[in-house]
């Protein structure tokens, strides 16, 4: 075998051809399963899409590079389940564009962070991480208290709808109103927001100030939604524990 490889190295075009063949095999093994993803990924019946405010927060989360230090994927290992909660299912991220599972954990995994901490905790942690966790190495994000830019809210929903996320025209047309309503619990539009996205969404002034819609509202709303869009993972884990 070594002699064959040695002889092949003498023939440059032969070596190039061999590299192409090997790379093609590897690529085929990785790419082929993607053509059957619609059949292999089961979308939970209770999975809801992100609200416009949560989606805006997700865009800021990506913009600030949070995904570079935090994964959103609990592996099916006992110690991870004990620490973070039920292991992640592909169906939970079926409508994520792009998905943020990741593998880098400079900070803890966030797949089950929704509802784990209070809004005030998240705000304090984002403004000054050392105020909450003295040994934290996370950067501070005080500028998130600035007003949220809403010019792309409707377009974001429309784009995702074109990629298969179940946003209907009513959701798209009312995206800006819904984004404001989610952070203003006393708004007359709150009932319409709940009618469109379900009564399990969080409706409150996430940054503590209902008079102004901020980037902090959006980011905290997103963080509080992670892992709460479906109960599928919890259901499967409870079934396995009972079997």
DSSP assignment of 12-67: HHHHHHHHHHHHHHHHHHHHGGGGGHHHHSPPPTT--PPPHHHHHHHHHHHHTTGG
User: Domain spans of the chain?
Assistant: 2-39, 49-242
Least confident range from 17-21, 136-140, 152-156, 229-233: namely: 17-21
CB 121 within 8 A of CB 132: yes
CATH, range 49-242 = 1.10.760.10
pTM for this entry: 0.84
Using alpha carbons only, what angle is made at residue 53 by residues 95 and 66, rounded to the nearest 5 degrees? 70
- How many DSSP H helices and E strands does the chain contain? 13, 0
Q: Phi first, then psi: what are they for 50, rounded to 5°?
A: -65, 145
Q: Which of 205, 240, 232, 170 is nearest to 53 (CA)?
A: 205
Least confident range from 25-29, 126-130, 168-172: namely: 25-29
pLDDT tens, residue by residue, 197-231: 999 999 999 999 999 999 999 999 999 999 999 99
Q: Provide the CA 65 distance to its chain's centre, in angstroms.
A: 13
Residue 213, Cβ density class (10 Å: 0-12 exposed, 13-18 middle, ≥19 buried): buried
């Amino acid at each position: 075998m070594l002699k064959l490889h040695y002889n092949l190295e003498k023939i440059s075009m032969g070596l190039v051809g061999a590299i192409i063949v090997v790379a093609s095999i590897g690529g085929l093994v990785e790419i082929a399963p993607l053509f059957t993803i619609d059949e292999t990924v089961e979308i939970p019946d209770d999975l809801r899409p992100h609200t416009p405010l949560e989606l805006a927060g997700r865009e800021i989360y990506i913009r600030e590079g949070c995904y570079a230090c935090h994964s959103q994927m609990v592996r099916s290992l006992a110690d991870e389940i004990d620490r973070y909660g039920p292991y992640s299912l592909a169906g939970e991220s079926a409508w994520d564009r792009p998905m943020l599972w990741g593998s880098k954990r400079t900070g803890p995994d966030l797949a089950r962070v929704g509802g784990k901490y209070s809004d005030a905790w998240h705000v304090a942690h984002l403004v000054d991480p050392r105020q909450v966790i003295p040994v934290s190495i996370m950067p501070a994000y005080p500028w998130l208290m600035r007003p949220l830019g809403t010019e792309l809210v409707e377009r974001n929903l429309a784009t995702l709808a074109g990629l298969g996320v179940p946003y209907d025209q009513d959701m798209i047309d009312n995206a800006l109103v819904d984004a404001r309503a989610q952070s203003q619990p006393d708004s007359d539009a709150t009932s319409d927001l709940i009618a469109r996205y379900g009564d399990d969404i969080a409706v409150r002034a996430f940054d503590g100030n209902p008079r102004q819609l901020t980037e902090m509202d959006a980011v905290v709303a997103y963080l509080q939604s992670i892992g709460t869009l479906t109960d599928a993972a919890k259901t499967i884990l409870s079934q396995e524990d009972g079997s």
